[in-house]
Amino acid sequence: MVMKTIKLFTTTMAVAIVAIATAVERPKMIVTPISPDRALVSIQNENAALFELSIYAKNGDLVYYKQSTEVANNYQKVFDFKNLETGDYTMNLRVNDTRLSKEFEVTANGINVGEESKLRFDPYFTYSDNVLKLSYLNFDTENLKLSFYDKNGLIYQSTIGKNFDVQSGYDLSALEPGKYDVVLSSATNEFKFSLEK
């Protein structure tokens, strides 16, 4: 059975992690309240790139989304939060495989911005010679699972656990030729990688 033929083996991928850490974007996002209802959001990045900016309410509702259409090193916008309900929100910036998030609170008295931003990186997948390699820095120590899908649905699932430094390899030589989707997921995140044998 296909599920039994996908076997996990240990690989040394420290070099891959160092390469990821040095090749990623290092954006900065500064949220500065300028009045009780308004804040200036400034984004800066070393390299010109496309970006996505979103704001989510604590309940998961998307209240703002912008995707740039041209590459840029910086972006500034004054946001008016007077129509937002009081409560907690998260502002997310995505530049390539790098994500930055900052929490803020809308109160009757104004906007309170959290002190620190959370920096996160998407997982690194590579597929070559029938071997899928995965590297991921699990900053939030979320419980992770890896799922393999073909055109008919789920064919294999593995629990990875809550380790901070995830490095693993999968021998896919027993899989039939075709297209596959590999999904690394947790309760709050999902990352997809597609491959063809």
pLDDT tens-digit readout, 126-168: 999 999 999 999 988 999 999 999 999 999 999 999 999 999 8
Q: Dig out the tokens for 138 from the structure.
A: 């699990």
Q: Does residue 44 sit in the same domain as residue 99? A: yes
pLDDT of residue 22: 41
In a domain, 3, yes or no: no
| Confidence bin at 24 (pLDDT 50/70/90) | low
In a domain, 112, yes or no: yes
Q: Dig out the tokens for 49 from the structure.
A: 């790139």
- Domain boundaries, position 99: 25-119
End residue of a domain, out of 102, 119, 136: 119
**What total number of domains does the chain contain?**
2
pLDDT of residue 189: 83
Cα distances from 73 to residues 27, 29, 44, 45, 100, in angstroms, run 9, 12, 6, 5, 15
Mean pLDDT of all residues in 24-46: 88
Is 95 exposed, middle or buried, given 0-12, 13-18 or 19+ CB atoms closer than 10 A?
A: buried
End residue of a domain, out of 72, 98, 119: 119
CB 42 within 8 Å of CB 72: no
Q: Does residue 44 sit in the same domain as residue 130? A: no
| pLDDT averaged over every residue in the chain | 85
Mean pLDDT of all residues in 11-40: 67
